[in-house]
Structure formats: structure tokens, C-alpha cells
């Protein structure tokens, strides 16, 4: 069953500084099934973040369609939640207060349910005991867990993740990837995951959309055939590296086409 | 012969470290050094004042004479009444400035059009030395307490207003995007982002407002009043009671130190709220 459908999406930008129109996304189409983990990779500036913002309803689009559960996306909605690249936590709220924040804004749950859900998701991301701490007291990885818990607590049908681990150091990132898979396994959400890291996309996702550089187009869609649950050691196996290599070649072509040194 | 196949694990006794000891001096270095310096300067000043005739009591004063005059004014003069008068003027004027500055600042910061219309006036008044309005204010309000209340208000209002406007406008873009993604209404953004986010800015305004408000009350009383600490300084000068003048000056200095350090402490406590990375 299709949960999210992006259909012939095209997006233009007006570049104020250069006083010209830029085509950011050109005829992008793909669909994500219910409960599917879909990753999107592409070279820098391929419009993947623009696309996520459009799906989140934070950016308007003129041509094409973005459809979730047979309804056209026309702005932010309670059926989606975003995990941002920067944790974007309110510095004056405790961890518990931050996890509640999304639910409070959406006003879907009563006070008691919000409390229960906040507790549950704080536990799920492994932050029990930190409820009363402030974001400034937490490490970057822990802040991203709060960011994730806030999104999950809002009970979205589709979880949108915008390079959520890009700002973390390599070790924390790997660890967070493994954690995310565990959490996803329990929460059973449809996920759209943006990243510029090929191995992150393959490790996490059921399918990987590879996008071309400016303007962003769908270059190819890969099935990831590996069984779940996946261990981090999977990343060192030959079959994983083969797939990574295949995706890398596609992206390299793109970089060559634009005459730039691979910027991924 | 038995061969050792495993490496002997070194036995590490892990004892919790005792809390690092700081000597009394290390802990209070600032207070001790600063305090000693102040005492030395006061001592030299006092010695010069008592044992030489380099200082004419007409032009200057000494610590003991200031202390004596302080005690005299306190017990026989009307120092307490003067203090109460100035304190009341400052408190009322600052209170009105705080409430109106924050309320108007929030409105101006939130509504772009209101800000664009009022900006030229605010900038002019913020930059101008409002204390220069004092003669006019005395014409309006007379030499009683309300001219002083008004000049304190006028002095403190603008820093509080301008900082509040900056605080409301200075909303973190990432937080705003997150709130929008969770379907936040404008009112929710106002309540949960704009207001709490502006608290550190408002406190900066409070600190600046306290400083200029104090100048306002003192200069206001010097220019036209028959009571208050500012009047005490002006009167001491006009009648060549240099000791009285100094008592007033010391009191004003201490009030300034006390109030600004209070405001600073408050500001620091909330500064980690500032959502900048």
C-alpha cells in the first residue's frame, strides 16, 4: 500500500542575489509504501532538502503532486513530523518539555496521554533519567535523540528525517543509526530519510532513491536486499560494499557531469 | 613448564578521587585582592587627610569626615527621608518603564508594520540624551516627585523597549521551522518561541534601564527639587558642604553597584536561554 507519493514534482527558486530563476527539482517521482524506510541520497545541492521541506509542507510547490494517504499536501500536517538536521530544541524547556512540544502544538492528545507518550518515547530513545535536564546539558547525540523522540511522540503517519546525523561525529553517527533501526522496528513508521552518506542510506533503508545533481531528478531507485535486523558489521560485508559502490558510481557520474570534484 | 597464555591484568585500584581542594585564598582570590586594594587606597587617603594639609576641606573630603557626616545626616539630618524620596521616584518610574517598555516592545517587535511606522521616532528618542528634557519636564510636572518619576521613566523606557523589540524579532530560524512543521499557529509561536526567547534580551534592557534610570533620578533632583539624594549633592555643592556632597555621591555609587549587579546576575541566569549556537 502506498503511503506517500511524490508525483512529477518540479520546483523553481528565485535567486535574489543573482536575479535569476533556478530549477531545483525537475519531475521527481517516487512512492513510499506503508511502513517502508526510504532513503534519498544525492550530491550536495541536488535539492533533497528542498524536497523534504515540500513533503513537510514548509515549502510550496507549483508543479506536480505530493500525496499522503490519498490527500494532497498543502502545508504542515499532523500526519507528518520532521527530525531536523539541527536538534532545534527549545533551550528554556527541559527534555520532557521538548518531547511534549510537538504534541502540544498539534493539540491532538489530552494532558494525560501527552505525559504517557512523552515518558514512553523518552524511554524508547534511551534518555530515561534526563527528563529534567536542559538541552544545553546534553551531548549532540543525545539532543538528536530528543529531536527524534519529539517527532515520534507526535504520532506521525510519515516520519521525515533531514540528515539527522550529519552533525554528529563518526562513532556517534554509527551508533545512532543502529539505534534508529531498533526504534523504527518498534515504532513501525513510514520513513523518508535524507542523507548525503551512501552507506548510511543503504544500511538503514528498504529502498534508496539516488538523485542527480542540479536540477534534482530521480536517477535510479535501488532495492536493499539485506535482511533485518541488520548489524553494524553488515557495513563491512562484500555484498554491502558492492551495492555501495554501485550507488557511488552513479553519484560520481553526476559529479563528473557537473565537472566538480566529488562533493559527497 | 606452564606457559602463560593470558597477559596478566594489571590490578588497578580505582579509588574515587577526593574533591579537589581549593585553598581559601584560591577560592576568594578576587574578593581578597580587590578588598585589600580598596583598603590600601582608603588608608592612604585617610592618612593624607588626617596627617597632612594637602587636602582642603573646601575642595575635597576624607573617609573619616564622610563617615562622620553620613552618621550625622542619618541621625540628625534628613538622609533617610532623602533616600526614601529618591528610592520612591526611581521605583515608580522604573516600574512604569518596565511594564510599558516590555508590553510595547512585544507589540512593536511582533507587528512588522507597527515597527516600520514607529522606527524613526524610536531611533531618534533612543539615541537622544533624554535627560536634556528635564527643564521641560519640570515645566510640565513641577519640582515635586512626578517630574523625577517621569524622567526615570523616560530614561529607562527606551533601552527596555528597544531590547524587547530585538528579542521578539530575534527568533531562532531553526526553532521557527520546527514549530511550523508541527502545525504551530501564529499565537502558539508567539507564546512558545517569541516570548520566552526574548527574556534574555529584556533583561539586558533592564540592566541598561537601571543604569540610565539612576542617572535620571539623580540629575532630575539636582536640576529641580527640594528633596532627594540628588538634591543633597547639589545643595552640598552650592553651600560648600563638601562632606555632604561626598555622602550623597557615595550613596549613589553604592546604589548603582547594587542595582546593576543584581540586574547582571539576573541576566546571566537567563543567558543560557539565548538560542544561539
Q: In the predicted model, is pLDDT for residue A35 greater than 60?
A: yes
Flag whether B277 is in a domain. Answer: no
Any CB–CB contact under 8 A between B175 and chain A?
A: yes
A202-261: pLDDT as tens digits = 888 889 998 888 788 888 888 888 888 888 888 888 888 888 888 888 888 777 776 655
Residue B271: all three cell numbers together: 543567558
Q: In the predicted model, is pLDDT for residue A156 greater than 60?
A: yes
Contact A88 B183 (CB under 8 A): no
For residue B182, list chain A residues with Cβ-Cβ distance below 8 A.
76, 81, 101-102, 105-106, 154
For residue A134, list chain B residues with Cβ-Cβ distance below 8 A.
272
The ipTM of this complex is: 0.85
Any CB–CB contact under 8 A between B186 and chain A?
A: no
CB A198 within 8 A of CB A43: no
Flag whether B2 is in a domain. Answer: no
The H or E element that residue B63 is part of is helix B63-75
State in words which class domain A2-79+156-257 has.
alpha beta
Query: Rounded to whole angstroms, how far apart are CA atoms B229 and B85?
Result: 8
Q: In the predicted model, is pLDDT for residue B1 greater than 50?
A: no
CB A149 within 8 A of CB A99: yes
**Helix A170-187 × helix A140-153 angle, to 10°:** 20
User: What pLDDT does B83 receive?
Assistant: 92
CB atoms within 10 A of CB B183: 20
Query: Rounded to whole angstroms, how far apart are CA atoms A39 and A198?
Result: 9
The H or E element that residue B54 is part of is none
Residue A121: all three cell numbers together: 518515547
Flag whether B63 is in a domain. Answer: no
Tell how strand A37-41 and strand A207-211 pair up.
Answer: parallel
User: What pLDDT does B277 receive?
Assistant: 40
B196-250: pLDDT as tens digits = 889 989 999 999 999 999 999 999 999 888 889 999 999 988 988 888 899 999 9
User: What pLDDT does A33 receive?
Assistant: 87
User: What pLDDT does A242 receive?
Assistant: 84
Q: What is the domain extent for residue B218? A: 83-271
A108-137: pLDDT as tens digits = 888 888 888 888 888 888 888 888 888 888
B163-183: average pLDDT: 90
Domain count, chain B: 1
Of the partner residues B180, B196, B275, the one whose CB lies closest to the CB of residue A76: B180
Q: By C-alpha distance, which of A258, A186, A183, A251 is closest to A219? A: A251
Flag whether B17 is in a domain. Answer: no
Taking CA B211 as the corner, what is the angle to CA B207 and CA B215, rounded to the nearest 5 degrees? 160
Any CB–CB contact under 8 A between B183 and chain A?
A: yes
Q: In the predicted model, is pLDDT for residue B4 greater than 70?
A: no
User: What pLDDT does A264 receive?
Assistant: 43
Query: Rounded to whole angstroms, how far apart are CA atoms A236 and B75?
Result: 87
The H or E element that residue B107 is part of is helix B79-110
Query: Rounded to whole angstroms, how far apart are CA atoms B237 and B134?
Result: 20
CB atoms within 10 A of CB A110: 8
User: What pLDDT does A187 receive?
Assistant: 78
Domains of chain A, residue spans: 2-79+156-257
CB A46 within 8 A of CB A16: no
Q: Which residues contact B37 (CB under 8 A, 6 or more apart)?
A: none
Which residue, among A53, A73, A85, A86, would best test binding to B if mutated, counting the most B CBs under 10 Å from its CB? Answer: A86
Residue B252: all three cell numbers together: 549613589
Which residue, among A83, A105, A162, would best test binding to B if mutated, counting the most B CBs under 10 Å from its CB? Answer: A105
Q: What is the CATH number of the domain that holds B209?
A: 1.10.3720.10
Amino acid at each position: 500500500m502506498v503511503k506517500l507519493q511524490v508525483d512529477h514534482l518540479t520546483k523553481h527558486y528565485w535567486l535574489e542575489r543573482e536575479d535569476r530563476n533556478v530549477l531545483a527539482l525537475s519531475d521527481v517521482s517516487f512512492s513510499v509504501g506503508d511502513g517502508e524506510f526510504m532513503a534519498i541520497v544525492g550530491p550536495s545541492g541536488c535539492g533533497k532538502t528542498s524536497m523534504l521541506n515540500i513533503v513537510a509542507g514548509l515549502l510550496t510547490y507549483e508543479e506536480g503532486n505530493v500525496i499522503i494517504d490519498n490527500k494532497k499536501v498543502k502545508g504542515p500536517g499532523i500526519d507528518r513530523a520532521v527530525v531536523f538536521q539541527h536538534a532545534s530544541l527549545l533551550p528554556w524547556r527541559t527534555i520532557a518539555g521538548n518531547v511534549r512540544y510537538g504534541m502540544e502544538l498539534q493539540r491532538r492528545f489530552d494532558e494525560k496521554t501527552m505525559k504517557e507518550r512523552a515518558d514512553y518515547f523518552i524511554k524508547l530513545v534511551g534518555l530515561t533519567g534526563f527528563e529534567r535536564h536542559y538541552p544545553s546539558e546534553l551531548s549532540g547525540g543525545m539532543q538528536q535523540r530528543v529531536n527524534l523522540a519529539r517527532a515520534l511522540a507526535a504520532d506521525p503517519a510519515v516520519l521525515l528525517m533531514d540528515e539527522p546525523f550529519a552533525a554528529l561525529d563518526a562513532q556517534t553517527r554509527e551508533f545512532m543509526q543502529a539505534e534508529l533501526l531498533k526504534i523504527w522496528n518498534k515504532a513501525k513508521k513510514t520513513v523518508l530519510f535524507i542523507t548525503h552518506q551512501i552507506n548510511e542510506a543503504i544500511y538503514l533503508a528498504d529502498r534508496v532513491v539516488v538523485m542527480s545533481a542540479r536540477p534534482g531528478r530521480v536517477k535510479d531507485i535501488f532495492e536493499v536486499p539485506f535482511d533485518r535486523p541488520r548489524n553494524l558489521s553488515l557495513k563491512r560485508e562484500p555484498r554491502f560494499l558492492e551495492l555501495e559502490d554501485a550507488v557511488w558510481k552513479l553519484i560520481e557520474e553526476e559529479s563528473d557531469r557537473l565537472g566538480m570534484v566529488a562533493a559527497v | 613448564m606452564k606457559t602463560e597464555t593470558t597477559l596478566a591484568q594489571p590490578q588497578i585500584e580505582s579509588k574515587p578521587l577526593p574533591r579537589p581542594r581549593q585553598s581559601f585564598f584560591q577560592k576568594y582570590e578576587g574578593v581578597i585582592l580587590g578588598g585589600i586594594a580598596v583598603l590600601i587606597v582608603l588608608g592612604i587617603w585617610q592618612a593624607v587627610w588626617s596627617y597632612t594639609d594637602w587636602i582642603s576641606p573646601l575642595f575635597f573630603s576624607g573617609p573619616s569626615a564622610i563617615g562622620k557626616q553620613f552618621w550625622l545626616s542619618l541621625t540628625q539630618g534628613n538622609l533617610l527621608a532623602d533616600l526614601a524620596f529618591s528610592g520612591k521616584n526611581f521605583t515608580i518610574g522604573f516600574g512604569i518603564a518596565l511594564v510599558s517598555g516590555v508590553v510595547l516592545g512585544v507589540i512593536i517587535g511582533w507587528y512588522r508594520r507597527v515597527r516600520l511606522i514607529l522606527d524613526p521616532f524610536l531611533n531618534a528618542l533612543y539615541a537622544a540624551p533624554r535627560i536634556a528634557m528635564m527643564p521641560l519636564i519640570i515645566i510640565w510636572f513641577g519640582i515635586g516627585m512626578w517630574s523625577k518619576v517621569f524622567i526615570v521613566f523616560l530614561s529607562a523606557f527606551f533601552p527596555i523597549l528597544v531590547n524587547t523589540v530585538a528579542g521578539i524579532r530575534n527568533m531562532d530560524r531553526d526553532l521557527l521551522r520546527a514549530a511550523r512543521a508541527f502545525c504551530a499557529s501564529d499565537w502558539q509561536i508567539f507564546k512558545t518561541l517569541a516570548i520566552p526567547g526574548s527574556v534574555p534580551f529584556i533583561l539586558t534592557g533592564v540592566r541598561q534601564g537601571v543604569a540610565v534610570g539612576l542617572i535620571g533620578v539623580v540629575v532630575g533632583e539636582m536640576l529641580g527639587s527640594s528633596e532627594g539624594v540628588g538634591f543633597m549633592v547639589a545643595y552640598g555643592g552650592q553651600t560648600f558642604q563638601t562632606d555632604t556632597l561626598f555622602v550623597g555621591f557615595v550613596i549613589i555609587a553604592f546604589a548603582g553597584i547594587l542595582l546593576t549587579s543584581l540586574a547582571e546576575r539576573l541576566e546571566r541566569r537567563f543567558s543560557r536561554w539565548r538560542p544561539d549556537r
